[in-house]
Amino acid sequence: MPNRLLLAAARRENLKRFITNHRFTRSVARRFVAGDTLDDAMAACKDLESLGITAILDYLGENVASETQVDAATSAYLASLDRIADAGLDAHISVKPTQLGLNLGPDVCILRLRKIADAALATGSVVAIDMESHEFTDGTIDSYAKLRETHDNVVLCLQAYLKRTRSDVSKLLYLKPSIRLCKGAYDEPGEISLGRDATRASFKELLATLLASSDYTAVATHDDTLIAEAIELAGKWKLDPSQFEFQMLYGVRRTLQSELVKAGYRVRVYVPFGTQWYPYLMRRLAERPANLRFFAEALIRG
C-alpha cells in the first residue's frame, strides 16, 4: 500500500517548492520521468522499442484549474498521437480524467475524451484512462462506459485496492471492457480500501475474472507473485498472447521488463513526460519509500 505519511507530506506546498526547484531532486525525478518534452518521451519510446517493449505516453498533469488548461492538455495528447503515427510506433496514450477537466464537470471531460479517442481511432491507436483518487471513480467509470459505446479503442484502469472494484467489474462486463488492472496508488480511507495482503488477493481474483471474460487485459504490476499468477492462468487457459500484456512504469524493474520480453510476453511501459511531474514522483516514492535513498544521496552529493 502507498505510504500514507509520504502522500500526506507531498500535499504541503513548501515541500513541493523545495523538491521541484532543487536541481538535484529534479535529476532524481528523471529516473521515473522521460523528460520535459514530447521529444524526450519519443526518444524513450524508441529506446524501449529497441528492447522489444511498447509504450504508453502520459503527458503529466492533473487537477486542472481551468478549461484553458484542459485544452492545452488535449492539444498535447493530439500532438502525441500524431508523433506516434509519424514514427510508426506501437504506442498509445494514457490520460488523467482531472487533467481533462473531470474536476470541473463531467461534460468538460467527456468532450475532450471523445476528441482524443476520435483522433486515436483515426490513426489506429488507443486511449487509456488512468484511475485517480476515489472522488473521481464514478465519473471516470461513467466516462469510460459512455465512450466505450462508440469507441473500442479505449482502456480503463481499475484499482484492486478499492473494495468497490469487484462490483464495478461485474457492472462493466456487458461492454466487453479493456481493463488495465493495477493495485492503486492514492491515499484512500480504510473504509473503502483494502490492506496490502487483501489487495493482492483482490488483484488475483479480478485478474482471473478479466482474463476469462474480456478480450484484452493489461496486468499493470511489478509484483512477482501477481506476474507469476498471470503467467499461470494464461498457460492453464491457453490464452492467446494478444489477450493480455504486462505493463510497468518507466524506470521500475527494467531487468524484469526485458526478462518477460525474452520469455515471449508482451510488455508495455508507461512513459510519463512533461513539467508537472511532482505528484507523479511523490506517488512513486510512496509506493517504495526505499526510493527516498536516491533523494538523500542526491542532496548529499549536492
Cα separation of 150 and 11, whole Å? Answer: 38
Q: Which of residues 114-153 bind ligand FDA (CB under 6 A)?
A: 130-131
8 A C-beta contact, residue 95 and residue 60: no
Q: Does 244 bind ligand FDA (CB under 6 A)?
A: no
Instruction: Tell the smallest beta-carbon distance from residue 260 to ligand FDA (Å).
Output: 13
Size of the site for ligand FDA (CB under 6 A): 23
Q: How far is the CB of 238 from ligand FDA (least distance, A)?
A: 25
Of 162, 95, 154, 106, the closest CA to residue 133 belongs to 162
Q: Is 247 in the site for ligand FDA (CB under 6 A)?
A: yes
For CA atoms 87, 44, 34, 141, the dihedral sign is positive
Examine residue 216 and tell whether it contacts ligand FDA (CB under 6 A): no
Q: Which stretch binds ligand FDA (CB under 6 A): 104-112, 113-121, 147-155, 246-254?
A: 246-254
Catalytic annotation present for 187: no
- Pick the piece of the chain touching ligand FDA (CB under 6 A) from 4-12, 102-110, 241-249, 257-265: 241-249
Nearer Cβ to ligand FDA (31/262): 31
Distances (CA, A) of 291 to 12, 196, 249, 272, 287: 19, 19, 14, 18, 9
Task: Classify residue 167 by its DSSP letter.
Answer: H
Catalytic: which of 112, 148, 168, 180? Answer: 180
CA distance 91 to 84: 7
Shortest gap between Cβ of 81 and ligand FDA (angstroms)? Answer: 18
Assess 221 for contact with ligand FDA (CB under 6 A). yes
Q: Does 202 bind ligand FDA (CB under 6 A)?
A: no
Q: Which of 118, 223, 261, 295 binds ligand FDA (CB under 6 A)?
A: 223
User: What would the grid cell of residue 174 be?
Assistant: 456487458
CB-CB contact of 244 with 211 (8 Å) = yes
Does 55 bind ligand FDA (CB under 6 A)? Our answer is: no
Grid coordinates representing 135 are 472522488
Can you tell me which of 92, 112, 183, 266 binds ligand FDA, judged by CB under 6 A?
A: 183
Residues in the chain: 302
- Count of helix runs (H) and strand runs (E) in the chain: 13, 8
Kindly tell me the burial class for residue 111, based on how many C-beta atoms sit within 10 Å of its own C-beta (0-12, 13-18, 19 or more). Answer: middle
**Distance between CA atoms of 95 and 45, rounded to whole angstroms?**
17
- Catalytic entry in 58, 112, 130, 200: 130
The window from 142-150, 205-213, 220-228, 233-241 that contacts ligand FDA (CB under 6 A) reads 220-228
Rounded to whole angstroms, the Cα distance separating 21 from 24 reads: 9
Nearer to ligand FDA, 68 or 269 (CB): 269
Can residue 249 be called a binding residue for ligand FDA (CB under 6 A)?
Answer: yes
Q: CA-to-CA distance for 70 and 99, rounded, in angstroms?
A: 6
- The answer to whether 130 is a known catalytic residue is yes
293 binds ligand FDA (CB under 6 A): no
Residues that bind ligand FDA (CB under 6 A): 130-131, 157, 159, 182-186, 220-223, 247-249, 252-253, 270, 284, 287-288, 291
Q: Which residues are catalytic?
A: 130, 180
